[in-house]
Structure 1
Amino acid sequence: MKRFRPFLGYLKPVKGTLIAALFCGLIFGAANGAGLPLMMKWVFPQIFAEDAVALTTMELLLVAAWLPLIFVIRGLSGYANVYLVQLAGVKVLERIRLDFFSKLQRLPLSFLQRQSSGDLISRGLADTNQLQFTLTFAANEIIRQPATLLGSIGFLVWVAFNERGVALVLVCLAVVPLCVLPIRFIGKKIVRRAQEVQTELGSITGRFSENLAAAREVRAFGLEEREVGKFSGISSALVRFQMKVVKYQQALNPAIEIISAVGISITLIYAYRVGVELESFLSLITALYLSYEPIKKLGGLNNELKKGSAALARIETVLNEPVTINDPADPQPFDQVRGDISMENVAFAYRGSELVLQDINVHIPAGTVCALVGPSGAGKSTFANLVPRFYEAAAGAVKIDGTDVRDVTLADLRRHIGIVSQESVLFDDTVYNNLLVSRPNATRQDVEAAARAAYAHDFIMSLPHGYDTVVGERGASLSGGQRQRLALARAFLRDAPILILDEATSALDSESEAFIQWALRELVVGKTVLIIAHRFSTIRDASMILVFDRGRVAARGTHAELLESSPLYKTLYNRQATLSSE
C-alpha cells in the first residue's frame, strides 16, 4: 500500500462514503466470520442433539430464525458495502481522470510531441480505470476480509482452546502461514505481466487513433489488409499477456484451497484422536474454512495491487512530469501591447537533443511583417513558438515591448497573439462556437463581422444550419479552404497585435488561396506578423526576412537585399522558382 500512499488523497473527498462502506464491511465480516460457526456451535445442537430439550413452536421458530437473520445482516451489509465503495470509486475515477487531463493541458508541447497520442489516451482511460478499481477494491477488501478473518480465527481459537487447550489451536492454525507462499510467488509474476498488458493496451489505442486519423490514406494506397494485419499482431500480443495474468491470478485460489484442505484434514485427524464432539468439530471446521476464504481474497487483493501498481507507473509518467512553463509568482501587467519583439542571446533544445536554436539576437519592431525562411529543420517554427511560450528558451530572453514573456501570465501573453496554422483544427462543435474560442465574450455581430472579413460568411450561410452547423471532428464536413477561412475568421475576431502565420495558404486550391490572400492583406495591417514561409510567393510584401540555417539566423534583410547578400537565400529562391516554372 505504500506505493499508493500519494494517491490515497483522492479518497479524502469521499471519506464519509468510505467510512460508511467500511462500517458495513465490518458488520459483513463479523456476520460472515463468526455468525455461521456460532450457528454450528449453538443452533444446530438445540435441534439435532440426542439430549436436546423439546422446543415449543415459538422456540423452534426463534432458533430457526438465526439462519435467515445471519444472512439478512450479511446480505444487507455486503450490498451496502459494495454499493458505497463503487459510489466512492466512480468519484475517485472522475478526479484522477480530471487531474490527468488537466495536467495534459499544462504540459509543454515538447512533451506531447514525444508521446504517442493513442498511448496518452490509454493512460487517461484504461490506466486510470485500473487505478480507480485498485484503490476502491483495496479500500473495500482491506477492511472487509481481515474482519472476516479475525472473526473466524477469533471464534476458532476460543472454541479450540476451551475444547483441548493450546494444542488444538496450534493444529488448526498450523497451515495458515503456508498460504502466504503462493500469494508472494504469484504476486511477483503478476506485476511484470500487468505492466506488459497496460503497455499493449496503449499500443492498441495508438493503432486505433493512427488508423482513424489516416483513413483516407489507408484507402487511397490500398493499405486495408496491411492495417488489419498490424492490428491483429498487436491484438494477439495483448491476448497473450492478458492470459498470462489470468494464468497466475487464477492459480491462487486452487493453491490456497489445496493448502486449506490439507489443514482441514490434519485437524480432522487430530480431532478424532482427541475425541472432539461433533458440534464442536463442525463449528471448528466452519471457522477454519471461513478463515481460508479471506486469505484467498487478500491474495487477490495483493494481485490487484500489483496490477494497479503497473497502471500507476504509467499514469505517474504524466502526473509527475514537471510543468516547465508556468505563470510567474508576481506577474507584470501586460496591456496595450504594441507588438515589438526582441530575442536576446536565445538558445533552445528539445530534451535530450542538440540545440535547435542558438545565439539568436533579433529585433522585430512593432508593425513589421517578418518572414522566416530556411531549409526544413532550420528552426523557423521553433523561433515562432518561443513568442507565445509554447516552448521555453533554454537561455537568453524573449521580450515583447521590452517585457520578458516569462514575467507575464500565459493568459495575458497569448491573449495578444493570434495564430493561423497550415492545418487548422476545428472542434466537433458548431461553426459559431468554433469562431468564439478566439474571443469568448464576442457578440454575434462581432463573430459575423470577422467571418465576412475572412470571406467565410457566404459559405457559412450556405451550410444546413448556417452558423449553428456542427462541423464534425476536426472540421471533417468542411473543405480545406473552408477550414482555413474559419481559422482566419478566428484571427480577425481576436484582433491581436501579434500574428503568427504558419504558411496559411499552402496546400489550397487557387480559388481558396485567392480568398485567403485577400483576407490576409487586411488582417496584417497594423500588426507585427511572423510568417513561417515555405513558399516564397507568400513573402513578397514582407518588410523583414530572417534566413535560418542550422539553428542560427544566417542573414536578414529585404527580399532584394538578400538576393544580393545571402547565397543560401538566393539558392532557396532559385530552386523554388525553377520548380514553379516546371
Structure 2
Amino acid sequence: MKVCPDATRLSWHVRRDGMPQSSSHSVLARAASRFFLPHRRRIALILVLALSTSVLAVSEPLLYKLIVDSLGSGFSGITIALLVCLAVALVTREGLAALIEFTVSKIRIALNFDMLKETNDRLHSLPVDHHGGESSGAVLSRIERGVAGSVQAFSEIALHLVPSLAYLALSAIIMVRLEWHLTLVVLAFAPVPALLGAWASHEQIDRERALMSRWVRIFGRLNEVLSGITVIRSFVKEEDEKRRFLSGVHDANAIARRGFSRDARVNATKNATMAVARVCAVALGGCLVARHDISLGTLLAFLGYVGGVFAPVQALTGMYQTVRKGSVALEAVSSILDAQDSVGDCPGARDAEHLRGDVTFENVSFAYRKGPKVLRDVHLRVRAGETVALVGRSGAGKSTLMALLQRLYDPDGGRILLDGVDMRSYKQKSLRSQIGVVMQDGVLFDDTIRDNIAFGRPGASFEEIEEAARAAHAHEFIVKLPQGYDTRVGYGGSLLSGGERQRIAIARALLKDAPILVLDEATSALDAESEDLVREALERLTKGRTTFVIAHRASALVQADRIAFVEGGTIVEAGTHRELVRSRGPYSKLIDRQVRTLEAVSV
C-alpha cells in the first residue's frame, strides 16, 4: 500500500514566554530572503542613491571649510562659486533623499502585501488542529504586529544603514587627512555609543518578545470574549472581563514604560559622550588654530565631521537594535509560515473528478496529536447513494470519522477508499469539492443571503440560487426580508433564526451538488416546527447522494438505509433500524431510553 508521507516543514519550538523560537537563525535568513529578494532591483537602487547622498553629505563640511578659508582674501568669485556648489549639493541631497523615501515606501507597501498574502494563504492551508491551538484573536494580533514590525525594521535599515556606513567611512578618511591629532581624540570616544547600544540591546530584545507575547494573549482573550458575549452577559462577567483586559494592558504598558526609561538613560549617556567629544575637539582645535597649525575653516569642517561621525555610530547602534527587534517580528510571521503541516498532497496527486460516492473505511485508526486513540480499526463500506447514520455517545469518534473523510486529518492506520481509490491519491481541494457538509450550527458569513448560498459555487446564476433555496424551504422567508436575497445575515448569521440559518446552509449544500454529503447533527438544535421544514429539505438534499448522518434523535435515524453504532472509537454493530432494535444491542438500548423519556414527559 502506497501511503503519502506527511509534508515535512520547518518546526518551531515554543519559548517560555509564549513566543515561537526557530531552531536555527537560518530560518530567519530564509524568511527574510523570501520577502526581500523579489524587490532586489529597487533595493539596489536605494543602495546607489544612499551612497550618493552620503558622498554629498560628506562634501558639505569641506565646502564650509573652503568657503571660510576663501573669505580670508575677501568675498571673491571663488567664494560665490563655492556657495553655488554648496547650494547645488544641498538641493541634490534633499532630492535624492526624497527619491529614496519614495522608493522605500513603495517597497514597504509591497512587503506588507506579500507578507499578508503569504500568511493568509498559509492559514488557509494549515491543518484544522493547528487552528485549535490558539485563538483567532491571538493569531491576528501576531500577524498584525509581526508584519508591521518587519516592514518598519526594513524601512529603518534601508533609510539609515547604508548612508551611515558610507558617511562614517568617508568622514574618518577625510578627518585623518585634515588633522590626525583631532581624529584620534574623536575616535577615542566613538566606540562608547556603540558599546552602550550593544549592551542595551539584549534587554530590548527580551522586552520586545515579552510585549509581543503579552499583546497576543490580551487580544486573543478579547476575541474570545467578544465571540462569547452572550455567555459573558448571562454569567454577569462583564466587569470581570473588563478588569482582566485592562490589567493585561496595564502590565504590558508597565513593561514598555520601564523599557522607555532605560532607553532614555542609555540615549542620554550616548549624547553626553558625543558632547564631551565635541568639547575636547573644540579645545584641542582652538589650540591648533591659535598656533596656526590649522585654519579656522579646517576646525569648522572638523566640528561638522564630529557630529557626522557620532550620528552614524548612533544610527548603526540603532540599526543593530532595530534588526534584533525586527527579528522578533519576523519570528512571529515565520511561526505561521513555517508551522508544521501534518496533511499535504501526495506527489503526483490528481484531481477527484465525478466521484460516484462509494466509500470504504478500511481498518482506520486515529489519535489527535499522538494522544489516546479516538478511532480503532474502523471498517465500514458505504455504497454510492446509500444513507448511513452514525450513532453513539459524545466523544465516541463519529465527527472524527467524518473529519477523516474530508481529509482534514490523515488516519494513523488503515486507509479510506473513494470509488476504490485511496483518498490520499487525490488533491485535497478537489476531494473536498466532492463533499457537501451541513453542520449543527449552520455557519454563515457576514454577507448577503445570495453570496452565502453561492459560497460553494460562486459562479452560480441567480436562478440556480433561488432553485436551491426553494428546495431547502428557504425561499419563502427570504423574499419577506427587506432586501430579499441581498439581505445581509450579520456576523455568523446572527440576524436569522436557527432554523433559517440551517435552511440557508442546506441550500448552500444543494447548490454545491456534491456526490457525498455529511450531516452532522443538522437538526438537533431546532424546534419541532423548524425541524419538520429542515427534514423535508434534507430529504431532497440526500436523494441520490452518499450520505452520512450524525444524529441522536430516533426521528433522524429511522430514515437511514443503515445505522452504525460507534462506541469506544470503533463500530460495534451495524444494520437497519429494525434489525438493530431486534438485536437488543446498544442501539436498541438507546432507543428504549428515548422512548421512556418521551413516555415520562407525556405522563
| 2:393 pairs with 1:375 | yes
1:565 Cα deviation after fit: 4.2
1:417-476: CA deviation from partner (whole Å, max 9, x where unpaired): 110011122222221121112223332222111110000111111122222222233223
Give 1:44's match in structure 2, choosing from 55, 68, 78.
68
Long gaps (5+) in structure 2: 1-24
TM-score w.r.t. length of structure 1:
0.92
Which residue of 2 is the match for residue 230 of structure 1? 244
Which residue of 2 is the match for residue 404 of structure 1? 422
Separation (CA, whole Å) in 1 of partners of 2:104 and 2:459: 42
User: Is the Cα–Cα contact under 8 Å of residues 3 and 309 in structure 1 kept in the other structure?
Assistant: no
| 2:53 pairs with 1:28 | yes
Give 2:101's match in structure 1, choosing from 40, 60, 82.
82
Equivalent AA in structure 1 for residue 179 of structure 2: A
Runs of 4+ in 1 over 6 A off after TM superposition: none
| 2:33 pairs with 1:8 | yes
Label 1:54 to 1:8 Cα distance change in 2 as closer, same or farther (>3 A).
same
TM-score w.r.t. length of structure 2:
0.89
Long gaps (5+) in structure 1: 162-166
SS of corresponding position for 1:356: strand
Matches for 1:36-435 after TM superposition, within 5 Å: 36-47=60-71, 52-56=72-76, 60-161=79-180, 167-272=181-286, 275=291, 276-277=293-294, 278-332=296-350, 334-435=352-453
Give 1:556's match in structure 2, choosing from 554, 568, 574.
574
1:76 Cα deviation after fit: 1.8
1:120-179: CA deviation from partner (whole Å, max 9, x where unpaired): 111222211111211232233221221222232222122124xxxxx4433331222233
Equivalent AA in structure 2 for residue 370 of structure 1: V
Equivalent AA in structure 1 for residue 130 of structure 2: F
Identity between Structure 1 and Structure 2 (%): 31
SS of corresponding position for 2:459: coil
User: Is the Cα–Cα contact under 8 Å of residues 252 and 299 in structure 1 kept in the other structure?
Assistant: no
Separation (CA, whole Å) in 2 of partners of 1:134 and 1:429: 37
Label 1:333 to 1:196 Cα distance change in 2 as closer, same or farther (>3 A).
closer
User: Is the Cα–Cα contact under 8 Å of residues 345 and 396 in structure 1 kept in the other structure?
Assistant: yes
SS of corresponding position for 2:442: coil
Separation (CA, whole Å) in 2 of partners of 1:523 and 1:2: 52
User: Is the Cα–Cα contact under 8 Å of residues 61 and 301 in structure 2 kept in the other structure?
Assistant: yes
1:248-292: CA deviation from partner (whole Å, max 9, x where unpaired): 444443232222233334434444555453332222222122111
Separation (CA, whole Å) in 2 of partners of 1:142 and 1:573: 75
| 2:487 pairs with 1:463 | no
Separation (CA, whole Å) in 2 of partners of 1:225 and 1:64: 68
User: Is the Cα–Cα contact under 8 Å of residues 249 and 303 in structure 1 kept in the other structure?
Assistant: no
Separation (CA, whole Å) in 1 of partners of 2:597 and 2:322: 62
Q: What is the RMSD of the two structures over their aligned residues, measured on CA atoms? A: 2.3
User: Is the Cα–Cα contact under 8 Å of residues 563 and 570 in structure 1 kept in the other structure?
Assistant: yes
Separation (CA, whole Å) in 1 of partners of 2:108 and 2:435: 42
Shifted more, 337-346 versus 319-328: the winner is 319-328
Separation (CA, whole Å) in 2 of partners of 1:335 and 1:319: 30
Which residue of 2 is the match for residue 164 of structure 1? none
Matches for 1:465-484 after TM superposition, within 5 Å: 465-484=483-502
Aligned length: 571
Separation (CA, whole Å) in 1 of partners of 2:401 and 2:60: 74
1:492-535: CA deviation from partner (whole Å, max 9, x where unpaired): 11222211001111222322211101111221122211111143
User: Is the Cα–Cα contact under 8 Å of residues 208 and 328 in structure 2 kept in the other structure?
Assistant: yes
